[in-house]
Structure 1
Amino acid sequence: MHTRINWFEIPVTDMARATRFYETLFTTKLKEENMGSGTLAIFCDPKGEGVGCLMKGDNMEPTSAGTINYLDAGASLQIVLDRVAAAGGKIVLDKFTLPRDLGVIAHVLDTEGNRIGLHATN
């Protein structure tokens, strides 16, 4: 079986703070929506299609110990890493070069306490 991630949800406790963090990190605008008793801030691909979201709602609890989602940092990981502290996050795994020209990664804690991975080609 071959599979790809087709949606992700990052739990948050403070939607405004988390939205600012991710919008600052990726210099983008997230699309906010309400869903029942929860609130979403959606990441969109270049075509405007939703690919994942920040989610505030019942049973959504941020953690640094769970699954790590890697988000595309674009052409340069360092440019995104340079925004982490100013956005209120913390680098917890420094930039690391993957073998076989697979690119570079780093881990950061967002403003909610979630550990996320960042990946770029350089």
Structure 2
Amino acid sequence: MQTKINWFEIPSTDFSRAISFYERIFDTKLRMEQFGEVPMGIFTAHDGDGVGCVVHGEHFIPNENGPILYLDADSGLDKILARIESAGGRILMEKMALPRNLGYIAHFMDTEGNRLALHAEQ
């Protein structure tokens, strides 16, 4: 199975500073959105679709462990989750529905200790 990165989140301690940094280095304007209490500066593709964000909130802590990458799980999120533990990984966050019909996500730890995530439209 081939996959791609569906979404990424870059944690920030100072949201305004982080937004300014990314807007400056990429010479772009991030789209500001709010996900519950969590502010997000959305990176967009040429067609306007969001591809990732700078995020600020209690559970988003910048550190050397890096951002969370969301891998495409449209081939079957439930099937992939069912294989994680038997392959030596660990599920960190069970399947969760996103608002506005944006699909479903789940987080897992791989065999190397990397935290990653899955995203599926359905």
TM-score (norm 2): 0.52
| Larger Rg belongs to | 2
Task: Determine the structure 2 residue equivalent to 1:39.
Answer: 39
**What CA deviation, in whole Å up to 9, does each residue of 1:1-53 have, x standing for no partner?**
21000100001111110000000000000001111111000000111110000
Q: Partner residue of 2:97?
A: none
* Residue matched to 1:14: 14
- Give the letter aligned to residue 41 of structure 1: G
Root mean square deviation, CA, Å: 1.7
Q: 8 Å contact 2:10–2:55 — kept in the other structure?
A: yes
Gap regions ≥5 residues in structure 1: 70-122
Secondary structure of the corresponding residue to residue 18 of structure 2: helix
Give the match's secondary structure for 2:5.
Answer: coil
| Aligned position for 2:78 | none
Contact 2:10 2:54 in 1 (8 A): yes
Gaps of 5+ in 2: 70-122
Say yes or no: does 1:58 pair with 2:58.
yes
CA contact (8 A) 2:11 2:67 kept: no
Taking the aligned partners of 1:48 and 1:24, their CA distance within structure 2 comes to 19
